[in-house]
Amino acid sequence: MPSNELYLVVLPLIHISSGVVEQTLTVLPNREFATEFFQNEVDGYMAMFKTRADQYLRGGHVISYDVDKVAAGEGRFVVKVIQNVG
């Protein structure tokens, strides 16, 4: 099955017009930009992304998502996301 290898990123956003601040999750195709999560938070971010991606980001050529935590050193982890397409 064809797939795309992506990495989970947490982005803080500040809305210029209102000043509202929020954090968002996205995926990028480059490990260099991946967020390095601590052990006590990585599973929660993985679960949140997997649930939302399977519910809202499937369709068209996207069949499903797989997530896997990868050790990044110093007790931290990155989340590799495999986007399955067909």
Q: Where are the domains of the chain?
A: 3-85
The dihedral built from the CA positions of residue 27, 30, 34 and 39, taken in this order, carries a sign that is: positive
Which residues, other chains included, contact 2 with Cβ-Cβ below 8 Å and sequence gap of 6+? 84, 85, 86
For the chain, what is the mean pLDDT?
Answer: 97
pLDDT at 4: 98
In the structure, what pLDDT confidence band is assigned to residue 8 with cuts at 50, 70 and 90?
A: very high
The per-residue pLDDT for 55 is 96
| The pLDDT of residue 82 | 98
Give the burial string for 23-52 (b: 16+ CB within 10 Å, else e): eeeebeeeeeebbebeeeebeebbeebbee
Q: pLDDT tens across 38-86, in order?
A: 999 999 999 999 999 999 999 999 999 999 999 999 999 999 999 999 9
25 pLDDT above the threshold of 90: yes
